[in-house]
Amino acid sequence: MNIDSITNGIVIDHIQAGKSMEIYKYLGLENLDCSVAIIKNVKSKKTGRKDIIKIDNDMDINMDILGYIDTNITVNIIKDGKIIKKTHMELPERLVNIIKCQNPRCITTEEKEVDQIFELKDKGNKIYRCKYCEAQAKKIVI
């Protein structure tokens, strides 16, 4: 199979095999007015198999979502057919409006205009807690 390279855009690489569609949805890529290629089950020396998303457009990607989902993901920015920037994901210290607090008594449940803010409390166990009520975040399962 031959997938064309992109001249200007973004390549999201090292996605866990079979998980690219979920990332596509979380990033809202269905709303783009450009070509988006999802390549599934690509052979990988590191992981055996991986998925890749290619976006034929220069746009802002929410790196916090990607870092929260999987720190193994890399994002490559392509200009004139060359990688000009490669970013390795890290767990974000703070998540804003990415996940929702499940505590029915939290202020964010009653006051819809209040941002949903979660802070990283335990990096080793990837535990985030609500800034307002300290409820533990439910992990995004993809």
- Alpha helices by DSSP H, listed for the chain, are 20-26, 63-69, 107-110
End-to-end CA gap in the chain: 26
3 contact partners, CB below 8 Å, separation of at least 6: 37, 39, 54
Domain boundaries, the chain: 9-88, 94-130
Tell me what the mean pLDDT of segment 32-52 comes to: 91
pLDDT at 116: 95
44 pLDDT tier (thresholds 50, 70, 90): confident
Cβ(77)–Cβ(84) under 8 Å? yes
| 77-101 pLDDT, tens digit each | 999 999 999 999 999 999 999 989 9
Residues 131, 71, 12: CA angle, nearest 5 degrees:
115
Given a cut of 90, whether residue 130 has pLDDT beyond it is yes
Given a cut of 80, whether residue 140 has pLDDT beyond it is no
Given a cut of 70, whether residue 19 has pLDDT beyond it is yes
CATH of 9-88, one of 3.30.70.1710, 2.130.10.10, 3.30.70.140, 3.20.20.210: 3.30.70.140
